[in-house]
Every structure is written in C-alpha cells, then in structure tokens.
Amino acid sequence: MPTDLPSSLRPLLPHPLPRFLFFTGKGGVGKTSVACATALALADAGRRVLLVSTDPASNLDEMLGLRLGARAVAVAGAPGLQAMNIDPDASAEAYRHRVVAQLPADDLAQQAQVREQLSGACTTEIAAFDDFVGLLAGDAEGFDHVVFDTAPTGHTLRLLSLPKAWAGFLSGNDRGASCLGPHSGLKMQESRFRQGLQALADPAQTLIVLVTRPDAAALREAARTHDELLQLGLTRQHLVVNAVFRATVADDPVAQAWQALGERALAQLPEGLRGLSQAQLPLRAFDMVGLPALRALLQPPDDAPLLGEPPPLPPEVQNLAALADALAEQDHGLVMVMGKGGVGKTTVAAALALALVARGKTVHLSTTDPAAHLTATLAGDAPEGLTVSRIDPAAETERYIARAMAARGAELDEAGRALLLEDLRSPCTEEVAVFHAFSRTVNSARRGFVVLDTAPTGHTLLLMDATGAYHRQMAQSLAGAGTHFVTPLMHLQDPAYTRILLVTLPETTPVSEAAALQDDLRRARIEPFAWVVNRSLAAAGPRDPLLRARVRGEQAQFARVLGGLAQRCHVLPWQAEPPVGVAALQALTA
C-alpha cells in the first residue's frame, strides 16, 4: 500500500499515511467535508479508497451527489473512490440472519427465541457496530485506504469503545445471551472484535483526525475526545482546524470580531491538543456540496467576489422571543430541541427554558446528549423556577442494572444471579437504560414544562427507534386486553403535549439534514412545531466580501425553509461572543 502523501494532502495530514483514517469531532465543524476532500485527493492520486459514514444521519449522499446504501458504490467523477453508509436498519436485519444461520436448522424454537432476543432497539446499534468492525478486520480488502466519516463525538466515542467492551465482555463467557445472540455462538465475532481493536490501537494502521473550528467550545470537545481516545489506546492523533477566517475589511465589526474570536480560541488551545501535529484550512465562501467544491477545499483560496448590500431577511422570519411567547401560551408540555450536531441545540434549549421561566413557568431543562454541554452553556446557578439535569448514560445503566437485579434476580440462586448480572453488564444495556430515563423525562412534562436538549440527529434517531419499538410492544401486549395505555411515542405525537423544534444553520447540508429529520419524524406521525435558524450572518449584516458571499448562500437556504419546510421560522443572528451564561442566554429572547 502506498504511504506517501499526494501533494494536495501534504499541508493537511502527517506522513506516513496509514490505511485507516478516522475523522471525528464536534458536530458542525466540517468532519464530512474534510473526510470527503481527503478521500477525493487520495483517489485522484491513484489510490483505491473506500469512504464510509458511521453516522446514522449521514449526509454523504448530498455531498457526493449520489444515493448511498450499505453496499459500496463507485463515485462518478472520482475513479478509484467508492462510498457507503453503514445503515443501522439494514445492518440489523443482516445481523439477525447471520446469527440465526448459526443455529441448528431443525430447532425452530431456538430460532424463534433468538429472533426475539435480537428484536430490541440496541441490536440496531450493535449490528451497525459489527459492520464497522468488519471493515477493520478484513471486509475492506482491495482498498488502499478506508476513510471513516464519523458521527458527532459522543456517538463516535461509544462506537470506538465497543470493540474493547465487547471483546472483554465475551472473554471466557460462553453462557447466556444478549442482543448479540447466544454467547456460545459468538467466538467468530469475538475474533473480529479483537482484530478490530488491534487495528484501531496500531499507529501504523490507524490515524485519528480530530477536526475542529477556531472556536473555544469545539476545541474543548476536541481536547476531551483526545483524552478519551488515549484511554482507549488510540494514540496516533492529528488536529485539523477548519474554517479559519482572515478579515479583509478593517471597518467591518462583524468580520473583525469573527477573526478575533478565532485567534483568541487558538491562542488558548487546550493543553492536551498542544502536543499534536496540526493543520489549518481557511473559511470558504461556498458550501461543501459536490466534487468541485470538495476538491477546492484543499486548494489555495481565491479572492471572494465583491458584492453589494444583500437584501434583508423575509418578514416571515421571526426572532426567538416570538417563539418563546408561542410556547408560553400553554401551562405545561415537552419542548424537544433537535437537529444536526453543532447547530446550537443546547444554546436554543437553554435560552428557551430561561425565557419560559421569565414568563412565569416552572421548567425542567435536561439533555440526552452524551457530550452534555448544558452545564458549560449555563455557566452558573439556574434561576428560581428552573431545574437542570442530564440523562447520564453511566448512571442510568447502573440504576437499570440494580432494578433488574432486584426484580428478576430475587428468586434466582447465586449462580443464576451471577449469570443475569453477566448479561446485564453487556455494552448494549446502556441503550435500554437511556431509553427508560428518556421515557421518565417525557412523562414528567404532565406537571410542568420540560425542555429537552437532544443528542445530534443520528443518536436521537436511534432513541426514537427505541421509542417506536416500545410502543409497538405495548400495543401488542395491552391493546387486545382493552387496557388503556399511553406510551412515550403517543406523547410525542400529541401536538398539545409536545412541541418539536428543529435547529439548523443557514447552510445547504444542515438544512437538508433538518429536512430529512423532519421526514423521519413525520413518518412516525410527529409534526415539528417550528424551525430555528441559528448563527445567521444575514441577520448580523457583515460587509466583508467573503462573509457577504456566504450571506448570499444563506438567503437561498431561508428560501428553502420558508418554501414549504417550516410551519414557523425563527432566527438567531451570528454573535461575536457565544451566548454563555444566564444573562447572555436571556438576552437572546429579551
């Protein structure tokens, strides 16, 4: 396999280049753009490259201009490049077939039992993980490089920790069953997990590229990811700072503030990142959609065109205070803030929770995001009337295990309890525990307002899948008996109980991502209440040519949103200082 770097990649990545490249980081920093540009540059240099998205809410399709699935397909216009999405649903079905095929053909009872074990929501995650491990353990033969475009950080850290977790869980454990199927039939998978772990931890085989922006929050998350990856044994890491801006108009306060903000963030680079090799990419005037734009990302930038004063925002676009007023018309309910990683969900959720308190409501603010940015965003004590919590996966897992041992293990002997505990220690238990905590949070909105800051889209969709699976299970077991029941899904489908807010940025890919999420919600008969377009340059009024070029692109996205996507549209302007702390958040809805 060639390891020398193509000329376009020499300023970006370290030498020698290993076979497996992982691009990870906080949502919205440009992971997919940098991963696609890297894969294209390698293919243009004559390499055979497989580009893989591990994000359940992948946007590779739009960037590359083709429809992707679970099988790799050639990318037109890029000889040598193939791409695929790891599709959780398709992976789960294929995984069920593989596990059942290992069972005796004439033992229909055992086959039915195993299918039931594999029907849980966590099987979807595990199956997608199994496909991921396969690419590390030999399923990607014939490719010089495999480039992974990963989900936002919290989801990715869990994915990268699973080979070690499952390898340890299965070691010496040939009894019982889990969402992976019977342990006694998993020795083949155990070998794959160990191969995957070995490849991940080998610096000669794997490079982790931490993609960030010159933004304090993104850099903090990159530093935290760096530390957690080191604990997993993934030692070869490299930092790419994307979208670095240099102002060209001296009397433009927006442009000067943007540059100063980035310079200050990079000057205060977290200690854990200072020892990493580093590269920077400039902010571009165009969206990263299509092969020409992706190739241009790694080329020297052209001067931005001089443009006149852009037209104002459409009058249908309202501020965040108007949204807070609309939500406050009720006395209680669930407000779920959803969207792609990095679009500002936590900021919007915290600002609206504080606005509801200011309007005389009692509010509980919580988050399902494993990265849990609420505390840093509030940066202080919550005012009277607001309580704050997080759904902590580790703590919820321990609570779930304790409850399960008390309920199911009470009448078991010591050996039976040991076996039950063994099964409950499987990594997939976390997904079940988080769903139960989510259900409790949804139900608590009967007594007051609950504002829920959700995880990035892909992780949230897995949680919604679990919600749907639980609803179907309850309907099947209780409806026939004439028992009245209300599931979390039924609460989410009730517009008088739940208001779904989709947060996006005024850029092509985030808007498309929000539209795809809205389609998924509507298939579950959940109708979003409003869209929030965050960090709008059009609402801030810059004069710098590059920023004005980006404003023109924003206006096309507002036209998309208002042209049939959103029932209501609200905007937050770009701000020189990120709104951190109670006072700054309250100012967003003043």
Catalytic residue, from 31, 340, 345, 361: name it. 31
Catalytic residue, from 24, 25, 55, 333: name it. 55
Q: Is the pTM of this model over 0.85?
A: no
Out of 3.40.190.10, 2.60.200.20, 3.40.50.300, 1.10.4030.10, which CATH number does the structure's domain 320-394+448-587 have? 3.40.50.300
pLDDT at 548 over 60: yes
pLDDT at 178 over 70: no
The CA-to-CA distance between both ends of the chain, in Å, stands at 59
pLDDT at 129 over 70: no
Q: Is 493 exposed, middle or buried (0-12, 13-18, 19+ CB in 10 A)?
A: middle
Length of the chain: 590
Q: How far is CA 139 from CA 67, 352, 486, 573, in A?
A: 22, 47, 44, 46
pLDDT of residue 562: 93
Catalytic residue, from 25, 28, 80, 154: name it. 28
Give backbone dihedrals phi and psi of 585, rounded to 5 degrees, phi first: -70, -40
pLDDT of residue 153: 47
192: tokens are 């794959």
498 is catalytic: no
pLDDT of residue 306: 62
pLDDT at 1 over 70: no
28 is catalytic: yes
**What is the DSSP secondary structure assignment for residue 569, as one 8-state letter?**
E
Express each pLDDT in 463-519 by its tens digit.
Answer: 555 555 544 555 555 555 555 545 667 778 889 998 999 999 998 878 888 898 888
Catalytic residue, from 178, 426, 509, 589: name it. 509
55 is catalytic: yes
User: What value does the mean pLDDT take over residues 166-179?
Assistant: 49
User: What value does the mean pLDDT take over residues 16-27?
Assistant: 87
**Helices within 171-215 (DSSP H only):** 187-201
33 is catalytic: yes
User: What value does the mean pLDDT take over residues 448-458?
Assistant: 76
Express each pLDDT in 237-292 by its tens digit.
Answer: 999 999 999 998 888 999 999 999 999 999 999 988 999 999 999 998 887 788 99
When the pLDDT of each residue in the chain is averaged and rounded to a whole number, the result is 80
- The rounded distance, in Å, linking the Cα atoms of 465 and 457 is 12
508 is catalytic: no
User: What value does the mean pLDDT take over residues 332-348?
Assistant: 88
Which residues lie below 8 Å from residue 320, measured CB to CB, with a gap of 6+? 348, 351, 352, 355, 532, 570, 571, 572, 588, 589
pLDDT at 558 over 90: yes
Cβ neighbours of 187 (radius 10 Å): 11
Q: Regarding the domain delimited by 7-296, which CATH topology (the fold level of the hierarchy) does it fall under?
A: Rossmann fold (3.40.50)
pLDDT of residue 125: 56
Q: Which H or E element spans position 574?
A: none
Catalytic residue, from 8, 24, 32, 377: name it. 32
Higher pLDDT, 399 or 460: 399
344 is catalytic: no
User: What value does the mean pLDDT take over residues 550-570?
Assistant: 91
Q: Where in the chain is the domain with CATH 3.40.50.300?
A: 7-296, 320-394+448-587
Catalytic residue, from 24, 33, 124, 426: name it. 33
509 is catalytic: yes
Catalytic residue, from 25, 30, 120, 341: name it. 30
